[in-house]
Amino acid sequence: MPAHFAAIALNPEIKFKYFESEWESRADWIENGKAEVRKLWESQYKPPPASPQEQRLRIAYHISAPPSPAAVLSTSQSSSSIAPIELQEDLINQIPDWQRRKRQRLMSDNCDELDRYLRRDVEDELPLGPLKYWIHHAHDIRQRELAKMAIDIFSIPAMSADPERLCSRYDL
């Protein structure tokens, strides 16, 4: 059932409104559905908190232009996923002030991806449909892991008739 709850909650048009309208007399069911989605998110997809250094690097790579070849080379050759501090500073110093301010705002936003998504109004993006919405947002650093969860959930086959037919045909 967690996948069913998550599929409804991760549909930007519905989120938890479906549960709240259909189960309004069953507050315990609503809370259970929300808890199941949260449990799936936290146990399978939610990344560990990033260190300040990792957070700075992540924002430098994904908000501005693609990283310089030197940054890619330095991060791919080191055992750590973090570039040297000097390189991070160079990347950050090359960015216009407005992008730097945007980065600072993002760096100070330690809100959980699921909570941010649930609070966000996505009415302008509804024509996309849930799977296209998440594919479109898969590179957004503010909801990349949640997008992975949603794409996994929406990629589950709606029915298992084809695999069952195959198993029956070969007596598996």
Provide the b/e sequence for 33-72 (b: ≥16 CB within 10 Å).
bbebbbebbeeebbeeeeeeeebbbbbbbbbbeebeeebe
Q: Name the residue among 44, 127, 57 with its Cα closest to residue 88.
A: 57
pLDDT digits (tens, 9 = 90+) for 13-68: 889 998 899 999 999 999 999 999 999 999 999 988 877 777 677 666 655 544 44
Q: Name the residue among 7, 61, 74 with its Cα closest to residue 37.
A: 7
pLDDT digits (tens, 9 = 90+) for 92-113: 567 677 776 766 666 555 678 8
pLDDT digits (tens, 9 = 90+) for 75-95: 444 444 444 555 556 665 676
Report pLDDT for 141. 74
pTM of the model: 0.63
